[in-house]
Chain A
Amino acid sequence: MSGTLKTRSFLVLLLIASALYMVKDTFTYYTMSESDKVIAIENGKLDDMQKNMIHRGLDLQGGMHVVLEVDLAELIRTRIEDSDKTIENLITSSLETSLENGDDFFQVFGEEVAKTKLRLARYFPSYEKGPNAEVLIALEADAKDAVDRAEEIIRNRVDQFGVSEPTIQRSGQWRIIVELAGVTDQKQARELIQATALLEFVLVQEDPQLVEDFMRNVDRAWVALSGPPVEETSTDSTVAATPTDSSETVGSLAELLSTEDGETDIAIQGEGDANRPFSSLVNIGSNMIWVPESNLHKVKRYLAMPEVLDAFPEDVRLGWSNEPRDLKGDGLNYYALYLLKKQAELTGEVITSAKEAMGGFSGAEFVVNVGMNDEGATKWTKITAANIEKRVAIVMDGVVKMAPVIRSKIADGRTQIEGLDNILEAKQLAVVLRAGALPAPMVIEEERTVGASLGNDSVNAGTNAVIIGFFLVVAFILVYYKGAGLIADFALFLNLLFTLAVLSTLNATLTMPGIAGLILTLGMAVDANVLIFERIREELRNGKTVLRSVEDGYARALTTIVDANLTTILAAGVLWQFGSGTIKGFATTLFWGILTSMITAIFITRTIFMILTNRRTMMKLSI
C-alpha cells in the first residue's frame, strides 16, 4: 500500500470510529428501558448523556410551544387613573395601527398622542409629572419590567413542573417563547405562565433540635419505605463540608451592620449508613441542608412521598433553592434545602418598590432596596424585632430565592438586602421582589401543542419511513450499479451514521420535518456517487482503462458535485435563518446530511476504489 493510501484508509477508519463514538449516547438513550432510565437519572448519568445526544422535538415527544406577549394595552390601562373615552380610544387605535403596519406600539402611541395635545401625566399620576415624552419613556420601562417579571416567574416555576430541558427565551422586546416537553395539559401550562407570582417572606426553622428531629424522622420513614439502600449512590459527605454561605443580610437603611458570617457547619458522617439513608446523601449546614447535585433526583423523589411527608416535624415545610452552588470550588454543585415555617410572615403584595443599587456598609456593595406599604411596614417592624439574627427566606412560588439574616429591627419598611455578588444578581432579586406585587399581563400569541400519542405515532412513522426509504435506495443502487453500487450503498450507510453523529454532537433537536430532511438526504446523497459512476461509465465507454476511468471520473465529477450540492446547502441555510422551531430541524438535518454526503461519496468511496485497484491491474469493473 502506498503512503497516501495508508493515510487515507487510516482517516476513513478514524472517521467511522469517531462517528460511532459520537452516536453512542443517542443510541444508548433510545434503547434504554424505562427502569434503567430511572437509575440513570438518579446517578446523574442521564444528564451527561443528554449533553451529547439527539433530542426529540416537541412534535415528536409531545409538548407545548407557547409565545407570550406582554399585553401593552392592558398594562397601560392598569396604570391609568380616571380613564376616559379619549385615552381609551387612543390606546385602541394605536394598537390597531401598530398591528396593521408592524410598527412599534409606543412609537405609534406617541405619535397619536402628539396629534391630540393630550397631557399624559394627568392619566398617570404614579409617574413623575413631566412632559409626554417622559411619561412615554416611563410607560415603556414599565412594560419592559413586566416582561422581565414574567420571564423570572416562568423560569422559577418551570423546575417545579418536572419538565426536562425547558426552553425559555426572549424574542424581541415584548415576547417570551416557552417550550415545555411533555406538558400537554393546558390548565397546567396556564398555571405556569400566569404572570403573578406568590412571593412570601418565611422564617427559616433554625432550632438545631428541630433539624435533628427532621433528619431522624425522614431517615426512619425512608428506611421503612425502601429498606436499607444499596451503596449505589456516591456521596461527598465523608468530606466534612464547610459550606460558606455568603453573607446575605437584611437591615434597615439606618442601622446597617455588615457582620461576617462566622458559621461553622456540622457535617454528618455516614456514607452507606443503612439506618440513615437520607442523612448519608446530604450535608447539613447551619441553617440549611446541602444536597449534592448527583443525589438531587433521589432525594426529591423520596421527600415527595406521602409517608415521608407525614414524618416531618410540626410546622416544617421545605424550600429548595433553584440554583445550585459550587460550595467548595471543586466543581461539585449543591442545592440548598431549607426547613421553613409553614406560615408566611408577609406576602409580596405589600412591596411597593424594589430596586437594585450600590450601598451597604462600604457603599460599594450590591444591594436591593425594598419599600413597603404601611400595612406591610407595621407587620415587618414586629417580625424583624422578634427575629433579629434569624434568617428569613424570600420564597417565590415555593422556591427559595435567598435567605438573608435579619440584622436589626426595621421600622419603616425600608429594607436593604445585602450580600449579592454582582449587579445582575441584585437586579434579578429586585425583579423577583416586584413580581409578587405587580401583575404582568401576558397574552398567548401563539401556541402549538402536540399530544404524546401523536408524537409517538410520528416517531414510529418517521422511523419506518427512514428505514424503508434507506433500503429502497440501497436496493435500487445495488441493482443498477452492481459492485460499485455496493460501495455507494456503504457510503450511504456511513452518510446516515455521520449525519446522526454530527446531530448528536451538536445536541440537535430532531423534529418531524427533521426526519423528513433525513429521508430526503438519503435520496439525494447518492447523487454524488451517481454523478461519479456515470462519469466513470462514460470514460470506460471511451475506451480508457479501469484505473484511468476511475481517476478521471472522480476528477471530472468533483466540481459538479460541489457546485450542485452547495445550492441545496444554500437553501438549507436560508431556511435555518428564517424558519422557526420545527422548520429549523429540517434545515439542520438537510444541511449536515448533504455536507457529510460529500465526504462519504467523494472521499470514502474513492479510498475504497483505491484499495480495490491497488496492486493488481483491474481489467473489469462491476459498475
Chain B
Amino acid sequence: MIELIKKANIDFISRRKTFILASVIVIAVGLVSLIIKGGPLFSIDFEGGTLIQVRFEQGTQVENIRNQLSAIGYGDATIQTFGAENEFLVRVKTSTKSETQIAEIRAAFASINGANDYEIRRLETVGPKIGKELRGDALMAVLVAMLGIVVYISFRFKFVFAMGALAALAHDVLITLGLFSVLNIEVSLTVIAAFLFIVGYSLNDTIVVYDRIRENIKTKRRDKFMNIINASINDTLNRTVITSLTTIMVALVLFFIGGEVIKPFSIALIIGLVVGTYSSIFIASPILIAYEDRLVEKQ
C-alpha cells in the first residue's frame, strides 16, 4: 500500500496563527498591488475595447507594429508577443466606430510585410455598454455563488460552518485576484469562470473535512474540540492531497499544452487549486475553533 502521508498526525490547530499570518501576508501583497494599479487589470470583456491576435508569416517586431499603429493615432495600443514569435496580441481602446477602426488597423498591419503576410486569427470588440453589463453579470455570478454556498452549508451543516467556508473562499479568491494583479494578467470572462470553479472546488475540499468533523463530533464526544478538528484534518489529509494532485496535474497539462488562448484560465486554475487546497486544510477548519462554544455545546 502506497501512502502519501503515513499515519498523518500533524498538529494543525496549535500552529494555526502561523498559517493564517502567512495567508494574510500574501493577501496584503495582492491588495497593495491592486491598490497601486487601481483595481484589477480587466480585459476588454469588462473594459470595452478591441483585441486582435495577429500573425505575420515573415515575422516582425513589437516596435514595428507600435510605430505603424502610432502613426495612425493608436499610440496607446498595448502590443505583446503571443505564444509564437511571429504572433502578437494587440489591444486598443474602442472608438465610436469600431468598423473604421478595424479597417485602419488592418491597413497598418498590411504596411508591415504586405497585405498577404498577416492573418488576423482572432478579433474581439466589446463596446463600453456591453463591457459594463458583463462586469455586472460577473460580479453578480460570484455573489450569487457565495450566497448559494452559505445557504447550502447552513442547510446541510450549521451556520458557523458556512462562515468558515466563506472565509476560506474569500481567502482563495482574494489571493488569486491579488496574484493576477502582481503578475499583470488580465481578468477576463474565462478567468471569472475559473474563479467560480475554484469556489466550487475549494468548497468541495472544505466540505470533506467538515463532514469528518461532524462525524467525529458524534463519535469522539469526549475529545477536546481542538483534537477533533486536528483528527478530522489528518483523517482526510491523504484524500485532500491526492485529489488536489490529480486536479492540479490536469490543470498543468492544460497550461502546458492547452494552447495560448486558454492560458490565463489555466493560471487562475493552478493558483486557485493550490490556494484552495491550502485553505481547506489550514484556514477553513482552524477558523472553527473560534466558534467552539456554539458547536460543542449543542452536542
User: Are A454 and B121 in touch, CB under 8 angstroms?
Assistant: yes
| B296 interface residue (CB < 8 Å to A) | no
User: Are B208 and A468 in touch, CB under 8 angstroms?
Assistant: no
In the complex, residue of chain B having the shortest beta-carbon distance to the beta carbon of A59: B261
Rounded to whole angstroms, the CA-CA distance of A78 and B98 in the bound complex is: 21
User: Are B261 and A574 in touch, CB under 8 angstroms?
Assistant: no
User: Are B208 and A531 in touch, CB under 8 angstroms?
Assistant: yes
Rounded to whole angstroms, the CA-CA distance of A79 and B148 in the bound complex is: 48
Residues on the A chain within 8 Å of B122, using CB: 448-451, 454
| B223 interface residue (CB < 8 Å to A) | no
Taking a contact as CB atoms closer than 8 A, the residue among A457, A468, A526, A586 that contacts B243 in the complex is: A526
Rounded to whole angstroms, the CA-CA distance of A276 and B245 in the bound complex is: 67
User: Are B140 and A578 in touch, CB under 8 angstroms?
Assistant: yes
Rounded to whole angstroms, the CA-CA distance of A526 and B133 in the bound complex is: 37
Rounded to whole angstroms, the CA-CA distance of A477 and B239 in the bound complex is: 12
- CB contact under 8 A between A468 and B145, given known A445-B127, A524-B247, A571-B200: no
- CB contact under 8 A between A516 and B258, given known A99-B128, A449-B123: yes
Taking a contact as CB atoms closer than 8 A, the residue among B145, B156, B212, B257 that contacts A571 in the complex is: B145
- What's the minimum C-beta distance from B7 to chain A, rounded to whole angstroms? 9
Rounded to whole angstroms, the CA-CA distance of A489 and B215 in the bound complex is: 29
User: Are A447 and B124 in touch, CB under 8 angstroms?
Assistant: yes
User: Are A566 and B152 in touch, CB under 8 angstroms?
Assistant: yes
Task: For the complex, count residues of B whose C-beta is within 8 A of A.
Answer: 72
| A575 interface residue (CB < 8 Å to B) | yes
SS class, residues of chain B in contact with chain A: helix
Rounded to whole angstroms, the CA-CA distance of A160 and B258 in the bound complex is: 35
Contacts of A510-541 to chain B: CB distance below 8 A: 512-513, 515-516, 519-520, 522-524, 526-527, 530-531, 534, 537-538
> How many residues of A sit at the interface, in one of the four size bands?
35 or more
Residues on the B chain within 8 Å of A69, using CB: 129
User: Are B196 and A565 in touch, CB under 8 angstroms?
Assistant: no
| B186 interface residue (CB < 8 Å to A) | no
Rounded to whole angstroms, the CA-CA distance of A112 and B239 in the bound complex is: 63
| B193 interface residue (CB < 8 Å to A) | yes
User: Are B99 and A527 in touch, CB under 8 angstroms?
Assistant: no
- CB contact under 8 A between A465 and B243, given known A560-B207, A560-B208, A577-B141: no
- What's the minimum C-beta distance from B119 to chain A, rounded to whole angstroms? 7
User: Are A567 and B53 in touch, CB under 8 angstroms?
Assistant: no
Rounded to whole angstroms, the CA-CA distance of A563 and B199 in the bound complex is: 15
Contact with B along A571-587 (1 / 0, CB 8 A): 11011011110110011
Rounded to whole angstroms, the CA-CA distance of A479 and B4 in the bound complex is: 12
Contacts of A169-195 to chain B: CB distance below 8 A: 186, 190
- What's the minimum C-beta distance from A593 to chain B, rounded to whole angstroms? 12
Residues on the B chain within 8 Å of A443, using CB: 127
User: Are B152 and A570 in touch, CB under 8 angstroms?
Assistant: yes
In the complex, residue of chain A having the shortest beta-carbon distance to the beta carbon of B3: A537
- Cross-chain pair count, CB within 8 angstroms: 216
User: Are B207 and A570 in touch, CB under 8 angstroms?
Assistant: no
Contact with A along B168-209 (1 / 0, CB 8 A): 000000000000000000000110110011011101110110
User: Are B238 and A534 in touch, CB under 8 angstroms?
Assistant: yes
Contacts of A426-444 to chain B: CB distance below 8 A: 443-444
| A623 interface residue (CB < 8 Å to B) | yes
| B249 interface residue (CB < 8 Å to A) | yes
User: Are A473 and B204 in touch, CB under 8 angstroms?
Assistant: no
- CB contact under 8 A between A454 and B53, given known A461-B259, A570-B145: yes
User: Are B250 and A530 in touch, CB under 8 angstroms?
Assistant: no
User: Are A458 and B141 in touch, CB under 8 angstroms?
Assistant: no
In the complex, residue of chain A having the shortest beta-carbon distance to the beta carbon of B203: A567
- What's the minimum C-beta distance from B268 to chain A, rounded to whole angstroms? 11
Rounded to whole angstroms, the CA-CA distance of A579 and B119 in the bound complex is: 29
- What's the minimum C-beta distance from A453 to chain B, rounded to whole angstroms? 6
> What would 25 A/B residue contacts be, using CB atoms closer than 8 Å?
A445-B130, A447-B98, A449-B124, A451-B119, A453-B119, A454-B53, A461-B257, A461-B262, A465-B254, A465-B257, A479-B2, A516-B254, A516-B269, A519-B253, A520-B247, A522-B250, A523-B251, A527-B239, A531-B239, A534-B236, A568-B201, A570-B145, A578-B138, A580-B189, A586-B197
The 8 closest A-B pairs by CB, nearest first: A571-B200, A461-B259, A523-B247, A578-B141, A523-B250, A568-B200, A454-B121, A469-B250
Residues of B whose CB lies within 8 Å of any CB of A are 1-2, 53, 98-99, 102, 119-130, 132-134, 136-138, 140-141, 144-145, 148-149, 152, 156, 189-190, 192-193, 196-197, 199-201, 203-205, 207-208, 211-212, 215, 235-236, 238-239, 242-243, 245-251, 253-254, 257-259, 261-262, 265-266, 269
Residues of A whose CB lies within 8 Å of any CB of B are 59, 67, 69, 99, 102, 186, 190, 443-451, 453-454, 457-458, 461-462, 464-465, 468-469, 472-473, 476-477, 479-480, 512-513, 515-516, 519-520, 522-524, 526-527, 530-531, 534, 537-538, 556, 559-560, 563-572, 574-575, 577-580, 582-583, 586-587, 590, 623
